Amino acid sequence: MEIRILKLVDILTKGFFSSSPFAGTHSLSCNFVVKARSTPPQPWCEGQCSVDGMPFLQYDNNNKATPLGDLGKEVDATNTWTELTESLKDIFEELRKQLLNMEPVADKTRYPHTWQVTTVSQYKGEQFVHAFWNFTTGEQSSFYFYPMNKIWGVIHDKDIGTMKQWKSNSELVQGLRKFSMGDSRHCLKEFLNHWKEMPSKY
């Protein structure tokens, strides 16, 4: 079972939800590193987002959002860009709280202060198809979350306690679901409209 789940997560995080396998489908994906603590001016959160595998946004908590590529330059002045970056900010602040709140009950010499967070949302037109969140510490995927049906799954037994704590945080769960099933749909719709105006780039 563990091998099967690991293979599934690997497929998803490598872009299974791109536009190529399914005609008319598009995906918004984000990949970030979140740290419980960092030494200023180093950011505690940084990463990027892509549409159909094409990066358009670089984000960290110090410099906020920076546009990447032609799509990023096209949409960085839009309200949708602002809404997306605000959603990311809220989610990763909540994730950081989770990490900080866990420190007192963990072995601080072994506690994983850094997590890699990957999310992909796929839509066909405006219809939600699928989404997932994958949480990784070190070199191994730890647990995952499917927002559509609120299913959490652990990949390594040692992370069951962490997963249960995150699962019980209703504010975090609501934020993850809102991003995957609401914000992503709106962003994809708006960004793809802009992308269609750049036929040589699409």
Q: How is the chain split into domains, by residue range?
A: 2-197
What are phi and psi for residue 199, nearest 5 degrees?
Answer: -60, -30
CATH homologous superfamily for the domain 2-197? MHC class I-like antigen recognition-like (3.30.500.10)
Q: What is the largest CA-CA distance in the chain?
A: 54
Contact 169, 143 (CB under 8 A): no
> Has residue 168 got a pLDDT over 90?
yes
pLDDT band at 13 (very low <50, low <70, confident <90, very high): very low
What are phi and psi for residue 47, nearest 5 degrees?
Answer: 165, -165
State the pLDDT at residue 163: 93
> Has residue 65 got a pLDDT over 80?
yes
> Has residue 39 got a pLDDT over 90?
no
The top-scoring range by mean pLDDT among 18-27, 122-131, 160-169 is: 160-169
What is the identity of the amino acid at 123?
A: Y
> What percent of the chain clears pLDDT 70, i.e. is strictly above it?
81
State the pLDDT at residue 7: 43
State the pLDDT at residue 110: 52
Structural tokens at position 128: 């939600």
State the pLDDT at residue 193: 87
Look at strands 140-146 and 127-137 and give their pairing: antiparallel
Which residues are within 8 A (CB) of 175 and not within 5 positions of it... i.e. 6 or more apart?
87, 90, 91, 94
- Compare 40 and 106 and report the one with higher pLDDT: 40
- Compare 110 and 149 and report the one with higher pLDDT: 149
> Has residue 169 got a pLDDT over 70?
yes
> Has residue 22 got a pLDDT over 90?
no
Which residues are within 8 A (CB) of 18 and not within 5 positions of it... i.e. 6 or more apart?
27, 52, 53
Which residues are within 8 A (CB) of 189 and not within 5 positions of it... i.e. 6 or more apart?
126
Q: Compute the half-sphere exposure of residue 23: CA atoms within 13 Å on the CB side of its CA.
A: 0
User: Mean pLDDT over all residues of the chain?
Assistant: 83
Contact 113, 16 (CB under 8 A): no
pLDDT (tens digit per residue) in 108-126: 545 557 899 999 999 987 7
Contact 143, 135 (CB under 8 A): yes
DSSP state of 53: T
The top-scoring range by mean pLDDT among 45-49, 61-65, 137-141 is: 45-49
> What percent of the chain clears pLDDT 90, i.e. is strictly above it?
57
DSSP state of 42: S
> What is the sign of the dihedral through the CA atoms of 169, 174, 177 and 178?
negative
* Reduced 3-state DSSP string for 89-155: HHHHHHHHHHHHHHHHHCCCCCCCCEEEEEEEEEEECCEEEEEEEEEEECCEEEEEEECCCCEEEEC
State the pLDDT at residue 3: 40
